[in-house]
A and B are shown apart, each in its own frame.
Chain A
């Protein structure tokens, strides 16, 4: 190897393999690859793989009111999966996720369409994108709580309705209800739809739309035959982001439902507060597997990896 190396070096003027400052240390291509993937791999192992493994282990442990005890038992899972409350919470979370997904998809698709195809001026488009993004510079908690004075019984919205004479007494369903939860989710997560879809749409050659119109496509058919098929990567990515956010939410449901609904994570947090770590771990594992399966199903419909490589 070194013979070949010294043969090449004088001709090329640089060595084929990077050299460190130390004499006699040459990096082989394999070592370079390891150095390149190493840092991220370490971070992922330390912050994702190890904790997940820890949860997995603890989920099989035994526990009582005073502590947890290493064991291998399936009781935590059995309890969780046979409690009617689990099914109820999963169904209500799925229902919320479905509604929020549909609304954010509708809004996100249309906002992305407007930003990409209707705003011709690059400057104006940047301003609109910033207008979408700047609220995200504040924390989600603040943006959630900000709805309370607006939607409350004596909140701005009810006051406005009454002073306009549209209602005689405040609307009660606005706050501390599923309505409030959904409106907050939509507010928090619509941008997660807009971003990926706009990114997909920006890659659509405008000539394709003209070509479709030239072939006699109506506006609606341009959408269904050209724009939607070509935006499906963005739609899938946005859907996964919104879905996982809703399924993993804890704060919004607690604040906005007024304790009337529970989320999967709030169920989990109750267990943690009661120091019931093994059932909480089992709960977390089931949620992870559930979300992973759902995301896997979405990926089957749209091969995101294939599209991202393009």
Chain B
């Protein structure tokens, strides 16, 4: 039977001495999906990725890939390939030999492995750069060589450790489109570690938010954005105003909030601290009288009908139906 999941983590734990880096996490990653592990630095997301890759031993628990327990297998026997954050291209080898490296390790003859490497360089549109050394390439090109080098092993699962963090913002968006396209075309699972929620939301079929060695919430990006389970998720994912109500913490999306008057309905009073023009929207940050930092994302037309300045008194209003109730953190 076709396995239902490409990767399964079963109470996987990583201890470094007395510190718990990853605390008994369980996760099922469906077939051919794009999964993003998201979280602040030190949350255990990279350690989790490295345990799936086999570069970090598992202290407890099991990892299944394609229904096979790989917990004790070496990296190359797991059907995974890893793309490193620094790309880790071999500086003494040209692009062709970098891409062909894993085939060389398997003892495949030079002509054959170079032919295959050329195909994969073409796949990432670097066919013309085969003879260049990594140091002669731009960051974006190096990244594509690293991608080709990982894909040539025909992995079931491609593991990407913050692949976009070294690129400039413009390139980042282009490369992330490219990653998504490749994942769709190759129909394999990508597991992508990032600390950027924009990146995760743009790419992920399954978004896994981690904090402090635990998975706090896993699901499709829309579900996480619309129904964050706790204040940490709501704050981390951004675009939410998190406030305390009598019945527990609530989150209201900043783009559903407006500046208004107390008679409009649910509201909180405060003082404008920052006005940020963002093009289509204007973000108005308000320090509320109860002491929260909240903001309203107001369409620019609406804002300019009644502009406010930092220091002005303001009232943040919203509709009851936009209130999302959360569990305590």
Q: Do A and B bind each other?
A: yes
Which residues of A does B touch, CB under 8 Å?
A: 205, 207-208, 210-218, 221, 225-226, 229-230
Q: A205-B88, A213-B74, A213-B75 are in contact. Are A225 and B104 (CB under 8 A)?
A: yes
Contact B86 A215 (CB under 8 A): no
Q: Which residues from chain A contact B84 at a C-beta distance below 8 Å? A: 207, 210-211
Q: A213-B75, A214-B55, A214-B81 are in contact. Are A207 and B88 (CB under 8 A)?
A: yes
Please tell me if B42 contacts chain A, counting CB pairs below 8 Å. Answer: no
Instruction: Identify 7 residue pairs between A and B in the complex whose beta-carbon atoms are under 8 Å apart, listed by A's number.
Output: A207-B86, A207-B88, A211-B82, A214-B76, A214-B81, A215-B76, A215-B102
Closest Cβ neighbor of B150 among chain A residues: A214
| CB-CB nearest 8 A-B residue pairs | A216-B76, A215-B102, A211-B88, A207-B88, A216-B105, A229-B92, A217-B105, A214-B75
Q: A210-B55, A216-B76, A216-B106 are in contact. Are A205 and B86 (CB under 8 A)?
A: yes
Contact B105 A215 (CB under 8 A): yes
Q: Which residues from chain B contact A229 at a C-beta distance below 8 Å? A: 92
Please tell me if B21 contacts chain A, counting CB pairs below 8 Å. Answer: no
Contact B101 A215 (CB under 8 A): yes
Q: Which residues from chain B contact A218 at a C-beta distance below 8 Å? A: 105
* Cα-based distance from A208 to B91 in the complex (angstroms): 9
Give the Cβ gap from B75 to chain A, nearest Cβ, in Å. 5
Please tell me if B153 contacts chain A, counting CB pairs below 8 Å. Answer: yes
Closest Cβ neighbor of A208 among chain B residues: B88
Closest Cβ neighbor of A207 among chain B residues: B88
Please tell me if B149 contacts chain A, counting CB pairs below 8 Å. Answer: yes
Tell me which residues from 44 to 89 in chain B have a Cβ below 8 Å from any Cβ of chain A: 53, 55, 74-76, 80-82, 84-86, 88-89
Q: A207-B84, A230-B92 are in contact. Are A212 and B55 (CB under 8 A)?
A: no
Main secondary structure of the interface of A (DSSP, over half): helix
Please tell me if B90 contacts chain A, counting CB pairs below 8 Å. Answer: yes
* Cα-based distance from A257 to B219 in the complex (angstroms): 77
Q: A221-B105, A225-B104 are in contact. Are A213 and B76 (CB under 8 A)?
A: yes
Give the Cβ gap from A309 to chain B, nearest Cβ, in Å. 12
Give the Cβ gap from B84 to chain A, nearest Cβ, in Å. 5
Contact A214 B86 (CB under 8 A): no
Give the Cβ gap from A57 to chain B, nearest Cβ, in Å. 46
Q: Which residues from chain A contact B150 at a C-beta distance below 8 Å? A: 214
Give the Cβ gap from A80 to chain B, nearest Cβ, in Å. 43
B91-119 interface bits toward A, Cβ cutoff 8 Å, 1 = contact, 0 = none:
11000000001101110000000000000
Interface residues of B, count at CB 8 A: 24
Q: Which residues from chain A contact B74 at a C-beta distance below 8 Å? A: 213
Closest Cβ neighbor of A217 among chain B residues: B105
Closest Cβ neighbor of A229 among chain B residues: B92
Q: Which residues from chain A contact B85 at a C-beta distance below 8 Å? A: 207
Residue of A210, A214, A225 with highest tally of chain B CB at under 10 A: A214
* Cα-based distance from A175 to B49 in the complex (angstroms): 58
Contact A210 B88 (CB under 8 A): yes
* Cα-based distance from A225 to B76 in the complex (angstroms): 16
Give the Cβ gap from A212 to chain B, nearest Cβ, in Å. 7
Closest Cβ neighbor of B135 among chain A residues: A310
Q: A215-B102, A218-B105 are in contact. List 19 more A-B contacts (CB 8 A).
A: A205-B88, A207-B84, A207-B85, A207-B88, A210-B75, A211-B89, A211-B149, A212-B101, A213-B55, A213-B75, A213-B76, A214-B150, A215-B76, A215-B81, A216-B106, A217-B105, A225-B90, A225-B104, A229-B92
Residue of A211, A221, A225, A230 with highest tally of chain B CB at under 10 A: A211
Q: Which residues from chain B contact A217 at a C-beta distance below 8 Å? A: 76, 101, 105
* Cα-based distance from A93 to B82 in the complex (angstroms): 50
Closest Cβ neighbor of A204 among chain B residues: B91
Closest Cβ neighbor of A216 among chain B residues: B76
Give the Cβ gap from A216 to chain B, nearest Cβ, in Å. 3
* Cα-based distance from A243 to B103 in the complex (angstroms): 38
Closest Cβ neighbor of A221 among chain B residues: B105
* Cα-based distance from A114 to B104 in the complex (angstroms): 26
* Cα-based distance from A216 to B72 in the complex (angstroms): 15
Residue of A205, A215, A230 near B153 (CB, 8 A) is A215
Q: Which residues from chain A contact B82 at a C-beta distance below 8 Å? A: 210-211, 214
* Cα-based distance from A135 to B91 in the complex (angstroms): 36
Q: Which residues from chain A contact B80 at a C-beta distance below 8 Å? A: 214
* Cα-based distance from A249 to B101 in the complex (angstroms): 44
* Cα-based distance from A5 to B241 in the complex (angstroms): 60
Closest Cβ neighbor of B56 among chain A residues: A210
B135-159 interface bits toward A, Cβ cutoff 8 Å, 1 = contact, 0 = none:
0000000000000011001000000
Closest Cβ neighbor of A203 among chain B residues: B91
* Cα-based distance from A59 to B75 in the complex (angstroms): 65
Residue of B53, B75, B85, B89 with highest tally of chain A CB at under 10 A: B75
Q: Which residues from chain B contact A214 at a C-beta distance below 8 Å? A: 53, 55, 75-76, 80-82, 102, 150
Q: Which residues from chain A contact B53 at a C-beta distance below 8 Å? A: 214
Give the Cβ gap from B133 to chain A, nearest Cβ, in Å. 12
